[in-house]
């Protein structure tokens, strides 16, 4: 009998990729989203294909980009509709206690959850001085407390069965913080420490706990960040010029010049980053590991190897300078 995997935030980006890839590998996959079963499968297919397209800049200013080819394996490309149809989507809002509890109870009624992939997340953009306390709280509500709600709903059944696996999605931003995304970085850093403590607490109950920290991955994350600030935006992340113009900062902000450089750098890097399938394959490796480690990293090799080395080996002033240079500051 195949193992049941529950993936939060499965309607786009990494979560959608995990759902389709694990479905292709024979796992029984349940994916959560705020819209639940009302999702349009054609739209999900389009999102998945876009995220796994190789893009290339055609001008030196990096304002114009063109799709080159698909990065999907032939098997997944040919059977995509079948794999997507196997995913069972359910409604869950990770910021709502009742929604999380009800969703987990309904899923467990049908089949036990063997593996939890905590993936739901988002990110605001702006200086610490100017982002509101409300925005900061919402950032933690989704990325940290949302993850915590799902953990508290899933763990009791795993503990009773004395079996299970939990993979919490953190980020390299939790190791080397991103300028103008301080709250996102802080929430991801909190997930790393939470994972370490939880791993110790659940060890006697045969529940494996790990974190996975992706680097830059080509998803709609930046476009969704812009939408967080302006819900009327409808463009995609490969609309580079429109993305740059949608910087979530007022021009009279004292941080505008620095913020614009960082925003442009983030946008330009993400669209040519590796596809989500890189992270999904890492998820499967963690699941199949007999002795999962506490922390994993995946993404561009320069980032996954360089960031921890820089933070561990170099003086803080120097490592901070390198991070600043990476973001053009």
Tens of pLDDT, residue by residue over 164-192, are 999 999 999 999 999 999 999 999 999 99
Q: What average pLDDT does the segment 106-130 reach?
A: 95
For residue 210, what is the enclosing H or E element?
strand 207-214
Domain tally, the chain: 1
Q: Catalytic residue positions? A: 184
Say if residue 37's pLDDT is above 80. no
53, 71 contact by CB (below 8 A): yes
Please tell me the pTM assigned to this model.
0.95
The pLDDT assigned to 274 comes to 96
In this structure, of 33-42, 95-104, 128-137, 264-273, the range with the lowest mean pLDDT score is 33-42
Query: What are the tens digits of pLDDT across the range 50-73?
Result: 999 999 999 888 989 999 999 999
Facing residues of 70 across strands?
Answer: 53
The pLDDT assigned to 1 comes to 62
Query: What are the tens digits of pLDDT across the range 298-320?
Result: 999 999 999 988 888 889 899 89
Say if residue 111's pLDDT is above 90. no
Q: What average pLDDT does the segment 279-299 reach?
A: 97
- 211 three-state secondary structure: strand
Query: Judging by DSSP bridges, how do beta strands 207-214 and 4-7 pair with one another?
Result: unpaired
Boundaries of domain holding 62: 4-326
In this structure, of 208-222, 278-292, 296-310, the range with the lowest mean pLDDT score is 296-310
Residue ranges in the chain assigned as alpha helix (H):
13-24, 41-51, 74-78, 80-86, 97-110, 133-140, 146-161, 182-202, 221-229, 240-245, 256-270, 277-288, 301-313, 316-326
Q: Residue 247 maps to which CATH number?
A: 3.40.50.720
- Categorize the per-residue pLDDT at 233 as very low, low, confident or very high, splitting at 50, 70 and 90: confident
């Amino acid at each position: 009998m195949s193992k049941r995997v529950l993936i939060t935030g499965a309607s786009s980006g990494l979560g959608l990729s995990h759902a389709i890839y694990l479905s292709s590998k024979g796992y029984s996959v349940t994916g959560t989203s705020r819209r639940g079963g009302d999702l349009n499968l054609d739209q999900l297919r389009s999102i998945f294909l876009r995220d796994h397209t190789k893009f290339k800049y055609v001008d030196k200013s990096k304002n114009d980009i063109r799709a080159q080819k698909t990065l999907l394996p032939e098997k997944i490309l040919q059977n995509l509709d079948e794999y997507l149809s196997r995913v069972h989507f359910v409604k869950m809002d990770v910021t709502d206690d009742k929604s999380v509890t009800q969703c987990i109870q309904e899923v467990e009624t049908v089949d036990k959850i063997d593996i939890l992939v905590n993936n739901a997340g988002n990110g605001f953009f702006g200086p610490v001085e100017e982002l509101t306390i409300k925005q900061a709280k919402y950032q933690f509500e989704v990325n940290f407390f949302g993850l915590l709600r799902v953990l508290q709903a899933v763990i009791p059944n795993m503990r009773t069965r004395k079996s299970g696996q939990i993979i919490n999605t953190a980020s390299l931003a939790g190791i080397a913080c991103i300028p103008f995304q301080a709250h996102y970085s802080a929430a991801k850093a909190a997930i790393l420490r939470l994972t370490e403590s939880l791993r110790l607490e659940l060890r006697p109950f045969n529940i494996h706990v790990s974190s996975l920290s992706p680097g830059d991955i080509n998803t709609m994350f930046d476009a969704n960040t812009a939408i967080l600030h302006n819900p009327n935006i409808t463009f995609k992340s490969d609309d580079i010029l429109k993305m740059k113009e949608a910087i979530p900062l007022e021009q009279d902000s004292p941080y505008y010049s620095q913020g614009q450089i960082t925003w442009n750098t983030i946008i330009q890097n993400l669209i040519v980053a590796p596809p989500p399938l890189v992270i999904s394959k890492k998820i499967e490796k963690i699941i199949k590991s007999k002795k999962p480690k506490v922390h994993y990293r995946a993404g561009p090799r320069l980032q996954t190897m360089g960031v921890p080395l820089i933070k561990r080996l170099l003086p803080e002033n120097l490592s901070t300078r390198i991070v600043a240079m990476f973001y053009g500051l």
